């Protein structure tokens, strides 16, 4: 059964500094370079969450350094394919 996380509010978030290949994360696809970056570890370890809410997240992509606002509907769950700040999964 999927677990739900609902985000509400405005957040200035930092990206996770390094990703571990095979681990699951919650983050965004950068609006400029389209590479994924993580802001949270995905707690189930399987990408099985239902993410929702009326939140706005302010983040800077660690890959291209573009800053942007992201909504909760833009949150992505992804499994890191490589180590480092991003994943193209």
- pLDDT > 90? residue 3: no
Q: Tokens at residue 63, please?
A: 């890959």
What pLDDT is recorded for position 84? 55
CB count, 10 Å around CB of 58?
A: 12
Task: Extract the runs of DSSP E, i.e. beta strands, from the chain.
Answer: 3-12, 24-29, 36-41, 49-60, 67-71, 76-79, 86-87
pTM of the model: 0.85
12-52 pLDDT, tens digit each: 999 998 899 999 999 999 999 999 999 999 998 888 899 99
CB 26 within 8 A of CB 75: yes
**Residue 37 to residue 34: CA distance in whole angstroms:** 9
Q: What number of residues does the chain have?
A: 89
């Amino acid at each position: 059964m999927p677990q739900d996380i609902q985000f509400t509010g405005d957040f200035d978030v930092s990206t996770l500094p390094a990703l571990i290949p095979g681990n699951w994360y919650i983050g965004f696809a950068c609006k400029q370079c389209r590479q994924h970056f993580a802001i949270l570890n995905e707690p189930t370890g399987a990408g099985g969450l239902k993410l929702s809410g009326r939140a706005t997240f302010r983040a800077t992509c660690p890959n291209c350094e573009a800053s942007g606002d992201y909504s909760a509907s833009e949150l992505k769950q992804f499994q890191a394919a490589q180590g480092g700040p991003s994943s193209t999964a």
